[in-house]
Amino acid sequence: MELAEPRILKYNGREYPCCASLTMGIIGGKWKTVILYHLINGKLRYNELRKCMPTVTERTLALQLQALEEDGIILREVFHKKPPLKVEYSLTDLGSTLVPLIQAIANWGDSVAEN
């Protein structure tokens, strides 16, 4: 059987075989949509996010935040230099274009939850 050549899509140095998988490459994984969901209503500090997501470990949260920042989805702002006392995360302009998507993801999950 012959398989067709896929058209390769690129984003931020990574390659994807389909527009759907590109999106999933950016917001996929266990925690990224949860982070974005909590950022819909505005900036949150690192520890505020932790309180919203008590079951994620600190290391994983930090990794996911870095990945989202690297992909241009969220902005990381540090206040008061030397020891970084205050860090705020918010959606970038690009990240804001994901809001309807995140909301739809959350709503669908809500609608099918059994509890």
Q: Is 57 in the site for a copy of itself (CB under 8 A)?
A: no
With CB cut-offs between 5 and 8 Å by kind, which of DNA, a copy of itself, none does residue 76 bind? DNA
With CB cut-offs between 5 and 8 Å by kind, which of a copy of itself, DNA, none does residue 10 bind? a copy of itself
Give the one residue of 9, 22, 29, 106 binding DNA; rule: CB under 7 A.
Answer: 29
With CB cut-offs between 5 and 8 Å by kind, which of a copy of itself, DNA, none does residue 94 bind? a copy of itself
Q: Is 55 in the site for DNA (CB under 7 A)?
A: yes
By the 8 A CB rule, do 68 and 35 touch?
A: yes
By the 8 A CB rule, do 57 and 46 touch?
A: no
Considering only residues 74 to 103 of the shown chain, the ones binding DNA according to CB under 7 A are 76, 82-87
CA-CA distance, 92 to 40, in Å (whole number)? Answer: 11
Hey, what are 81's tokens? 């230099």
Q: What is the DSSP string of 44-85?
A: EEHHHHHHH-TTS-HHHHHHHHHHHHHTTSEEEEEESTTTT-
Q: Which residues bind DNA (CB under 7 A)?
A: 1, 29-31, 45-48, 55-60, 62-66, 76, 82-87
